[in-house]
Amino acid sequence: MRIIGIDPGLRACGWGVIDVDGPRLRHVANGTCRPSGSDMGSRLMSLHLLLTAVLEAHRPDAAAVEQTFVNAGGQSTLKLGQARGIAVLVPAQAGLTVGEYAPNAVKKAVVGVGHAAKAQIAHMVAMQLPGCAPDSADAADALAVALCHAVHLQMSCRVAAAVARA
């Protein structure tokens, strides 16, 4: 199964693609979309086009997006929410169900601690995906989102199998 993780942002939107084969995880690609444009509409359109190109190039089977972290300033949270809307829309347009995870859930799944620092996330992503070199902290976060989704899907399959046996 191929999973894309997306860390939404209006200036830098990280993405990471992994392949999952049972317990094996393999890094496929990662990058950072940097939308252009001076107004919100053009930036959102640019982000949509960039993410669509990534999905067309890598053809994931599943997608996961990090939920919005509520900032102290409501205006920045609203703007990030718009970028997040595009990050959910693009995989949905490709026919994918989108998993959504809180930042602390992603950190806990990848690092083991819900309040891990960015450096810890990048380190654990590199440990779990040998040879992976994220092109930015946003790309490392996106790979962490993909890893979190992989863990979630594996647990869901185990639970379903246990329920079927019962």
Please count the residues of the chain.
Answer: 166
Catalytic, 21? Answer no
> Which residues participate in the annotated binding site?
7, 66, 138
Catalytic, 138? Answer yes
pLDDT computed for residue 160 by the predictor = 65
Chain-wide mean pLDDT for the chain? 91
pLDDT computed for residue 154 by the predictor = 79
- Structural domains of the chain, ranges and CATH numbers in brackets: 2-165 (3.30.420.10)
Provide the 8-state DSSP code for 59: -
Tens-digit pLDDT profile for residues 108-162: 999 988 888 889 999 999 999 998 999 999 999 999 999 999 998 877 666 666 7
For the chain, where are the alpha helices, taking DSSP H only?
A: 40-58, 74-93, 103-110, 118-128, 137-165
Catalytic residue, chosen from 7, 39, 56, 135, is 7
Q: What is the pTM of this model?
A: 0.91
Catalytic residue, chosen from 19, 21, 56, 138, is 138
pLDDT computed for residue 163 by the predictor = 74
What are the tokens at 89? 């829309």
Q: Compare 71 and 48 and report the one with higher pLDDT.
A: 48
Residue type, 117: A
> Which residues participate in the annotated binding site for Mg(2+)?
7, 66, 138
